[in-house]
Structure 1
Amino acid sequence: MDFEVLVCFVVWASHAAYAWYSVWKASYAYLPRLLDYGATPGWSILSERPKDSTNFEWFIWKEHVTHYLFALILHAGTLPAVMLCLPGRLAKPVLISLWLCLNCLAYGSYPVIVAIGYACILYTTVLLFKTAKSLWVVAVLLFLALNTRLFTPMAHVQYYLFCVFVTYKLLQFVSYLLFTLSKTEKGSVLDDVTHLLFYCLYLPYSTVLFVTYEQFRSQWLARRPLGQRNLPKVLWLATRILFWTFFCDFVLHFCFMNAMVQDYEFLRYVSVDVLCSVVYTAGQFFHSKYVCIFGLFKVFAHVDGMEPPDLPVCISRVALYSRIWRHFDRGLYTFLNTHIFHPLSEAIKYPDLRRVCAGAACFLFVWLFHGQSYSFAVWSFLNFVETMFEYVGCRIDRRLSVVCRLRKLFGIACSRRILAVLQLPCIVVSVFSIAFFLGGADTGFVLIRRILIDEHFQLRPVFFYLISLGYCFVQSTMEVERLRPFAC
């Protein structure tokens, strides 16, 4: 079995390396198209070689990272000074005032003002109706309002920054207000507002590095004193984030997968190996991008003595989407699990119906959170389908002890092969869902037509080749998980 796993790993690793080589080679031919599609001058040290700037999220991040960094440095400098010089009751309102200014500095005053208005609406709803249902109804309406004409006239960059800030604020408002509704002892309005602002304005957790209110509260109360903080670990993390930030930007001078994955006309006619390579490398870049974005805020949370969520797991070491959801955006997963999945599960009597309905509600909210586009709807639906595949498999195993019986009948090695084959439908669904997420609906359908079925609805030969490659991938991820299990 060890030799088979080694062969699978070599096959998968060589294909991953070839994917990057293929995209690098195709990028030279794609350069004239990129100049019309979305190129900006690159680094001066590279003679301003054209750079792929079509990944809007990365482009905005690079443009605004200095604002975030400056605000975070001010935050890290003022927090210990305020905590040291002022008594507890006075420190909190002073910190809230400082953090309000720093959020305006980092994200702009308009998103902060709108978010405060949203907070007032939600808090008033809770005061009037005192139910979680009413809170959720109003919160969903506020999410939907972000895509109305009320806000869309803004410039594209400002609108994106506005949506990022306000959507994460809505998560925080809902998390805090659900916590207050669950308490038996109710506090005063002043206490509620103070706790809410203190939680929502804490800068390292203000947007992408999300934690629920209960997590924030426990972390703040258990903050490590300055002398007990692992500064070498923080410096090493900061060095890693700095390296990956420069490396990601460097790669965009030579590999144009972000432009290609959105250019469905190009993907219709390019060779199949380049098509698959583009989708794979775009997914890899997506992971690296979020390591950089999450990592910056994680560094400063550690500086404050907090325990922020881990960085996103590499998508090349995970085969099942339930694991990706649990270990990629851990904050969003915790929100879904704590505030949607478990409450709905407790309200539904039948176990199977409970899982289906709660899971569907979670992915409906994921679609709502990400902007309610058609491509995100397909992506969310495919994610739901894939997790249902996993759930059905787990239920069958629990009832019939399939894994134990396979091991008794065929041994560990053969049973592992069977389990790898059984995971292949999940891999197929996840690959297509990634294409819809990264490239849009047109890219997703191009991928389906070119590697899954032809115009006569017959399976294409390349699909069977990719299935065998998927088997090698699953075997590799199973071995990686055996050697380095996921932390709970």
Structure 2
Amino acid sequence: MLIQSRPRFQKTTTLLPPWEICLYVILSIASHLYSFYEVHKVSQEYEEELGREFEFEKGFFIWGFKKDPTDFEWSFWMDWGKRHLAWYFLCHVFISLVTKTLIPKFRVVFLMLYGVFVCFFLLGVRGLAMVLLHMMISFSVALLRKPLLCWLCSLMLLYTLHLPFFEEIQRSWYKTENEYYLLLFSLAMCCLRYTSFSLEYCWQQTGQRSSLQCFFAYLFYYPLFHNGPIITYKEFISQIQKEKTSSTKITFGIIVWTIARIFTWWLLAECMIHFLYIHAILSNEALLEVVSFWALGGLALAQVLFFYVKYLVLYGIPSLIVRIDGLEPPELPRCVSTMHSFTGMWR
């Protein structure tokens, strides 16, 4: 007699009734808005005190709200974006489309050379030499085909960025702190790409080869050079070498819609640092002791939501350019208010 075995654990899904879902949505939106209102009241009440301490900037809204500039990452990339990066991204798109139409066989080479040129222009001769030095050290270690050595090499190169001796030397190359930090961020992101290439080189079969030219193309692919998002070497090369990318073609309508979404995210982030001085308040310990519990909850919630919106912009622009190039970028972060775990946030 045969007895059919049943799985020990069966996954069952039960949908909530519509009225209950609507109730949760209303309560969630109401709690968000009220907690943000409490933070806004604190921001306006202590605006002068916080403005003197953290040197608030003049905002762009016509009714006179000041801007909280204490989130270094947002201020740093917005400053570089307005001055240089936006124009270099547009030039990359132009070169990519022209070479794809006229000389598709040399498209990757031209994109690589363009990335080297921009790196030279923004980081200078010494900055470019530092990137190339790290690259050659990592490539030389990868030739040994020992993953452990590759990891140790990447950690060593990353550790050198924090040595006071090297910091002083690299700072002396530039006139401003922002120029030095651009080099620092670029080297840190390049370290992830060194590691990805080295590990793939160690894991590949003996008959396969990863050329130095492919490594250059991967490292100096400009939309992802300074800040990400991260695409592994294997994914990048497998996509960039495809002769047909019909599955990843992007239409003009999608481009316009994506630009509109990115602009909306940027505007939302700017509204948050104009109406809610969350970063300045969190840096003032005395103020945190006197605000209400609703305000404290609103500060915590606004912090993670601003982090989320910030990376929608910082990763959204390069991801759009990657899609225009015919590649498939990683998915953007998910909204933290709809997650029970931060796994999707940090992927």
TM-score by shorter chain over 0.5: yes
Counterpart in the other structure of 1:102: 118
1:304 aligns with 2:321: no
Counterpart in the other structure of 1:383: none
| Structure 2 contact 272–306 (Cα < 8 Å) conserved | no
- Please tell me the residue identity of whatever aligns with 1:320: S
Find the residue that maps to 1:46 and give its secondary structure.
coil
Quick one: distance in 2 between partners of 1:179 and 1:210?
A: 15
| Structure 1 contact 42–253 (Cα < 8 Å) conserved | no
Quick one: distance in 2 between partners of 1:9 and 1:196?
A: 48
- Measure how far apart 1:257 and its partner are: 0.8
TM-score when normalising by structure 2: 0.84
Find the residue that maps to 1:116 and give its secondary structure.
helix
| Structure 1 contact 22–277 (Cα < 8 Å) conserved | yes
Quick one: distance in 1 between partners of 2:207 and 2:110?
A: 24
Counterpart in the other structure of 2:334: 313
Counterpart in the other structure of 2:232: 212
More helix by share: 1
Counterpart in the other structure of 1:203: 222
Counterpart in the other structure of 1:60: 76
Counterpart in the other structure of 1:116: 132
Find the residue that maps to 1:184 and give its secondary structure.
coil
CA deviations 1:57-97 (Å, max 9, x no partner) are 11011101131111111111112323444472x55444322
1:80 aligns with 2:97: yes
The correspondence of residues 465-484 of structure 1 with structure 2, limited to 5 A, is none
Quick one: distance in 2 between partners of 1:203 and 1:69?
A: 12
1:262 aligns with 2:278: no
The correspondence of residues 434-445 of structure 1 with structure 2, limited to 5 A, is none
1:276 aligns with 2:292: no
Q: Which moved more, 1:67-76 or 1:35-44?
A: 35-44
Q: Which runs of 5+ in 2 are unaligned?
A: 1-15
- Measure how far apart 1:214 and its partner are: 1.2
Find the residue that maps to 2:46 and give its secondary structure.
helix
- Measure how far apart 1:4 and its partner are: 4.0
CA deviations 1:314-369 (Å, max 9, x no partner) are 110101123333xxxxxxx3xxxxxxxxxxxxxxxxxxxxxxxxxxxxxxxxxxxx
Quick one: distance in 2 between partners of 1:310 and 1:87?
A: 27
The correspondence of residues 34-53 of structure 1 with structure 2, limited to 5 A, is 34-46=50-62, 49-53=65-69
- Measure how far apart 1:278 and its partner are: 0.8
- Please tell me the residue identity of whatever aligns with 1:134: L
Find the residue that maps to 1:269 and give its secondary structure.
coil
Quick one: distance in 1 between partners of 2:247 and 2:340?
A: 40
Q: Which runs of 5+ in 1 are unaligned?
A: 326-332, 334-488
1:10 aligns with 2:26: yes
Percent of residue pairs identical = 20
Find the residue that maps to 2:274 and give its secondary structure.
coil
Quick one: distance in 2 between partners of 1:289 and 1:9?
A: 24
Between the two structures, name the one with larger relative contact order (CA 8 Å, sep ≥ 6): 2
Find the residue that maps to 2:289 and give its secondary structure.
helix
| Structure 1 contact 76–300 (Cα < 8 Å) conserved | yes
TM-score when normalising by structure 1: 0.61
- Structure 1 residues 115 and 268, CA gap change in structure 2 (3 angstroms): farther
| Structure 1 contact 172–212 (Cα < 8 Å) conserved | yes
The correspondence of residues 221-232 of structure 1 with structure 2, limited to 5 A, is 221-222=241-242, 224=245, 228-232=249-253
- Please tell me the residue identity of whatever aligns with 1:208: G
Q: Which moved more, 1:287-296 or 1:270-279?
A: 270-279
CA deviations 1:289-309 (Å, max 9, x no partner) are 111111111121122122112
| Structure 1 contact 229–303 (Cα < 8 Å) conserved | yes
1:149 aligns with 2:164: yes
Counterpart in the other structure of 1:244: 265
- Measure how far apart 1:285 and its partner are: 0.9
Find the residue that maps to 2:42 and give its secondary structure.
helix
- Measure how far apart 1:28 and its partner are: 0.6
